[in-house]
Amino acid sequence: MKLHEQIADGRRRLVAAGFAADAAAIDADVLARHVLGWDMARLLAHNREPAPDGFGPRFEAAIARRVLREPVALIVGTREFWGREFAVTTATLVPRPETEFIVEEALRILPPGSPAIVDIGTGTGCLAITLAAERPDAHVFATDISHEALLVAVANARTHGVAHRVHLIRCDLAEALRIQADLIVSNPPYVPEWTAGALAPDVVNYEPATALFGGADGLQVLARLFARVPAWLAPDGAFIVEFGYGQEESVCQAAEREGWTVRRMLHDLQGIARTVVLGRSRG
């Protein structure tokens, strides 16, 4: 059987399992390239040729995992973020495009001259590692409560050559740090627990609940951050944090109760508020 025929069969299996046709086509191509170890150009150049030895069983196994709604990122073991590949496991959230807004804003506002950055709840390390790579003068500290997640972050830091500048610490929030950071960033758990039944199985069945759910209203961890982050932030520093759909008003109110001022609200490509930049308004 030709390579393109096997890929088309995988695509049909995904459509039959309920995937939209365009999503099935993308997933089948990504999984095929992963099994082959090829880039898209090579796949396009050789997809009319017979499939290489061993391709069929490995590709079918990958498609079977996707049929069960396992995320493609976990099947292939990586996800791209800010142009870099990051290893992912079931101990971490899969990095998402909207989290790149934190990086974009951080790079815009970071002061010159060796700034100190803290990433709270680092997971894969995608924020801390990206900021370290983009700002070689920065001192970066990243925390997570999960030992397993930190192991993934350590591996990613080594892959991207910043392990000597990203200091990974296991602790709740940033309680182990004694620092006055110029910038603190976080993509905390913010999904309300009551919405679990409505989440895609790709998410709720495979990504860690402790990194997804922020209590009954989704604001439990965010409220703790608003109260505790001032202890680790320089007076003129900024705190950039991601939050969930429809939480903009509640997040701003919770932040303002703790003495924060909203400096900027960032919206995704659909115009949905997803990230807020905060500074201290008193104390």
Residue 26 has pLDDT above 70, yes or no: yes
Q: Mind listing the pLDDT tens digit for each residue in 239-278?
A: 999 999 999 999 999 999 999 999 999 999 899 999 999 9
H-type helices in 17-142, by residue range?
21-36, 40-46, 55-67, 72-76, 100-109, 126-134
The mean predicted confidence, pLDDT, of the chain is: 96
Q: How many alpha carbons fall within 13 Å on the CB side of residue 38?
A: 18
Q: Where are the domains of the chain?
A: 3-68, 78-280
Asked if the 78-280 domain carries CATH number 3.30.413.10, the reply is no
**Region 161-190: what's the mean pLDDT?**
97
Q: How confident is the model at residue 282 (pLDDT cuts 50, 70, 90)?
A: low
pLDDT in tens, 32-72: 999 999 999 999 999 899 999 999 999 999 999 999 999 99
Residue 202 has a pLDDT of: 94
Q: H-type helices in the chain, by residue range? A: 3-16, 21-36, 40-46, 55-67, 72-76, 100-109, 126-134, 147-159, 201-204, 209-212, 220-228, 248-257
What SS3 class is residue 50?
strand
pLDDT tens-digit profile of 182-208?
Answer: 999 999 999 999 999 999 999 999 999
